Amino acid sequence: MALGIKQFINFAGIARDLKSFNFSVYGQWFGYINIILCIALGIANLFHVSGVIVFGIIAIIQGMVVLFIEIPFLLKICPLSDNFIEFIKRFATNGKRALFYLAMAAIQYCSMSVMVTSLVVVAVGLTISSLSYGVAVVKHQQFQNTSVIKNPADDDFPHEAVVREML
């Protein structure tokens, strides 16, 4: 029996997250989208012959920082400095994440002063994340992690994969 990626994704958890009306979950989902946008559009803007290159590099760095903020498990498995880990752990509340995303969006909006490029999409995506976390703060919603990947302790987790990994 072949294992597919769909066996590891928690579709019931995703549906539950979308129906929860907890805006911190929505902010986290937009954060995942922002990781892709920042890295992809940052690389795409490295090919301009202007100051936009600097904002493209900043977008790539922002994508990597958002990756560690939104997927804290990576802090445990990646060799990182203690200062970076402490910096990332500061953003454990909705309010701090809202301000962080807003500051990053402001940086990308500044790229329009040099040239209007696809980095505007990055700025808008970061703004949506900031607004989602901001609404969670206003509604006094607790920060909640999303459950995209199945827990290995769940009954429906494909345990054959664990055995294959060990072999």
Residue 162, pLDDT score: 53
Residue 105, pLDDT score: 97
Interatomic CA distance for residues 156 and 28, integer angstroms: 25
CB 56 within 8 A of CB 44: yes
The alpha carbon torsion through 39, 40, 42, 46 (nearest 10 deg) reads: 130
The backbone region for 11, taken as left when phi is positive above 0, alpha when psi lies in -120 to 50, beta otherwise, is alpha
DSSP-derived letter for residue 158 is: -
Interatomic CA distance for residues 62 and 119, integer angstroms: 12
Each residue's pLDDT expressed in tens, for the chain with a length of 167 residues: 455 666 656 666 667 767 777 888 888 889 999 999 999 999 999 998 888 999 999 999 999 999 999 888 888 888 889 999 999 999 988 999 999 999 999 999 999 999 999 999 999 999 999 999 999 999 988 877 665 555 555 555 555 555 555 45
CB 123 within 8 A of CB 111: yes
Nearest residue to 69 via CA among 84, 58, 79, 55: 84
Crossing angle for the helix pair 119-138 and 23-44, nearest 10 degrees?
170
**pTM of structure:** 0.80
Q: What six digits make up the tokens of 32? A: 């995942």
